[in-house]
């Protein structure tokens, strides 16, 4: 099994999270501040350099006020189309 950080599904999820942040016109620093994390945390997630565990993913979505299930559905859909 491949490390999840280097998969199409993870790329889709990271792109979606970045898109959600930009749609809210938030900077990486603003989002990081909401999560009490350094801005490099958000940068690494969006660039696919850092993997989120399930709890971190929910915290990330909460900071963006988005439904974590939406991202999960994106991953499942990508897996089914492969």
10 conformational bin, left if phi > 0, alpha if psi -120 to 50, beta if neither? alpha
- Residue showing tokens 């999560």: 35
Give exposure, 16-25, as e/b (b: 16+ Cβ within 10 Å). ebbebbeeee
Contacts of 75 (CB under 8 A, 6+ apart): 9, 12, 13
Task: Enter the pTM of the model.
Answer: 0.90
Q: Report, as an integer, the average pLDDT of 56-77.
A: 97
Number of domain units in the chain: 1
Q: Output the domain CATH number for residue 58.
A: 1.10.260.40
Q: Around Cβ 33, how many Cβ atoms within 10 Å?
A: 15
Domain of residue 21, residue span: 4-81
Q: What percent of the chain has pLDDT over 70?
A: 94
Say what the pLDDT of residue 2 is: 57
Q: What is the pLDDT of residues 14-52, one digit of tens each?
A: 999 999 999 999 999 999 999 999 999 999 999 999 999
Q: For the chain, what is the mean pLDDT?
A: 93
């Amino acid at each position: 099994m491949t490390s999840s950080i280097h998969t199409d599904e993870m790329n889709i999820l990271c792109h979606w999270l970045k898109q959600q942040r930009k749609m809210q016109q938030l900077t990486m620093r603003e989002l990081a501040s909401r999560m009490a994390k350094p801005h490099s945390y958000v940068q690494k997630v969006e660039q696919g350099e850092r993997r989120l565990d399930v709890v971190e993913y929910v915290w990330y979505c909460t900071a963006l006020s988005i439904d974590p299930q939406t991202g999960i559905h994106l991953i499942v859909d990508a897996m089914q189309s492969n």
